């Protein structure tokens, strides 16, 4: 006999989008605590959702070269397999947060259940890039949109689901990886980004870290992906002044859970903040906060400079179209520090955490 009153949340990729979409099961439980919540994603992201406090079962769409998910509550298979299995799981409504051809196949497989579709805002974002003289309205932060989709107050709080999903053992390992940075407190720097126009220079991150340590007494740890250009640029700049972490994302989250704040490019690391319950400063260049991927939490803020050529792309570009990348190069570390200092002070109840110079 199938389980009843199940809602399915669909978000296949990418990593940052899955991190944000994974707040939705908590919203659904807040709306109706008696329902079961299923989450449909790509196989590579299934382990990230392991232990999710609001997800009853993960459906992982198998990929050609994907690793087998380790979550015991996970169902893995082809898209057709997923649809068939979900039919036996009592799905009564589907929240399609991806809205592509794969998710439309899932909706087509359940024509008689309730469908909830958030506004995609794709046209509005493109207007910001290609017709900015029309002054399109900013897209609201995505978590506000998701809360509204679930019938909740958009301004309400979000549960740090990923921190709660991490086991005590994982959190202990995260603390061990933070090492000497943990006792005095640290800031996690998301130095990498898939697209070059989203990437603040590694030297700016290091300069920001120097000032954070000098004036706030906080160490910095750097999150980079192996083989990423940012990792190669960062290595000679550190010289024992900080530690670069090249970790699987769930292990990085276990480190981030102990941080005071995150400073990150517009990348998946940016969305670790609300997932583990710490404030975030987003560094924006070729993309802009008005796309809806910033300021998800009440303490979050943004470091940016206004230029007439911004934004230059909806998702980012492999190179600056004008060749100068001024949006990032001219964004000084001092500016980012002032934003971060305000975030840290608000997180500390309005009391400055500056180190005494006496």
Write out the chain's pLDDT in tens, 358 residues: 445 589 999 999 999 999 999 999 999 999 999 999 999 999 999 999 999 999 999 999 998 754 554 545 689 999 999 999 999 999 999 999 999 999 999 999 999 999 999 998 999 999 999 999 999 999 999 999 999 999 999 999 999 999 999 999 999 999 999 998 899 999 999 999 999 999 999 999 999 999 999 999 999 999 998 778 888 899 899 976 778 999 999 999 999 999 999 999 999 999 999 999 999 999 999 999 999 999 999 999 999 999 999 999 999 999 999 999 999 999 999 999 999 999 999 999 876 666 544 3
| Phi, psi dihedral angles at 81 (to 5 degrees) | -60, -40
DSSP state string for 67-107 = PPP--TTEEEE-HHHHHHHHHTTTEEEEEESS-SHHHHHHH
If you search the block for the tokens 């805002």, which residue do you land on?
A: 121
The answer to whether 252 and 223 are in contact (CB under 8 A) is: yes
User: What's the CA gap between 260 and 281, in Å, rounded?
Assistant: 11
- pLDDT for residue 161: 98
**Which sequence spans correspond to the domains of the chain?**
6-117, 162-347
Tokens standing for 244?
């670069």
146 SS3 class:
helix
Domains 6-117 and 162-347 share a fold: yes
pLDDT value at position 68?
A: 52
Q: What is the pLDDT of residue 322?
A: 96
CATH T-level assignment (fold) for domain 6-117: Rossmann fold (3.40.50)
Q: Specify the pLDDT at position 1.
A: 43
| Of the candidates 355, 208, 347, 332, the residue with the CA atom closest to the CA atom of residue 222 | 208
Q: How far is CA 53 from CA 89, 130, 157, 172, 352, in A?
A: 19, 41, 16, 19, 34
CATH number of 162-347: 3.40.50.2000
């Amino acid at each position: 006999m199938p389980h009843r009153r199940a809602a399915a949340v669909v978000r296949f990729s990418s990593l940052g989008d899955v991190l944000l979409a994974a707040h939705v099961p908590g919203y659904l439980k807040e709306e109706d605590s008696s329902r079961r919540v299923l989450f449909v994603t790509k196989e590579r992201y299934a382990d990230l959702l392991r232990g999710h406090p609001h997800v009853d079962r993960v459906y992982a769409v198998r990929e050609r070269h994907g690793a087998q998910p380790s979550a015991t509550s996970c169902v893995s298979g082809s898209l057709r397999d997923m649809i068939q299995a979900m039919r036996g799981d009592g799905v009564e409504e589907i929240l399609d947060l991806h809205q592509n051809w794969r998710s439309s196949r899932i909706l087509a497989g359940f024509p008689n259940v309730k469908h909830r579709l958030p506004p995609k805002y794709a046209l509005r974002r493109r207007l910001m890039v290609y017709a900015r003289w029309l002054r399109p309205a900013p897209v609201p932060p995505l978590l506000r949109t998701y809360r509204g989709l679930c019938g909740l107050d958009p301004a309400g709080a979000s549960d740090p689901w990923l921190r709660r999903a991490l086991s005590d053992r994982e959190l202990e390992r995260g603390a061990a990886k933070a090492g000497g940075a943990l006792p005095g407190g640290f800031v996690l720097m998301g130095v990498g980004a898939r697209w070059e126009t989203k990437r603040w220079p590694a030297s700016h991150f290091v300069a920001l870290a120097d000032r954070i340590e000098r004036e706030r007494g906080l160490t910095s740890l750097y999150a980079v992906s192996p083989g990423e250009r940012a990792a190669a640029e960062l290595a000679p700049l550190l010289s024992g002044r900080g530690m670069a972490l090249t970790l699987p994302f769930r292990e990085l989250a276990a480190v981030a859970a102990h941080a005071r704040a995150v400073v990150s490019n517009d990348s998946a690391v940016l969305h670790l903040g609300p997932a583990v319950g710490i404030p975030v400063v987003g560094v924006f260049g070729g993309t802009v906060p008005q796309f809806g991927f910033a300021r998800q939490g009440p303490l979050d803020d943004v470091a940016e400079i206004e230029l007439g050529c911004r934004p230059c792309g909806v998702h980012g570009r492999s190179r600056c179209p004008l060749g100068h990348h001024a949006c990032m190069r001219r964004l000084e570390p001092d500016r980012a520090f002032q934003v971060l200092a305000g975030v840290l002070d608000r997180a500390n109840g309005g009391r400055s955490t500056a180190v005494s110079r006496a």
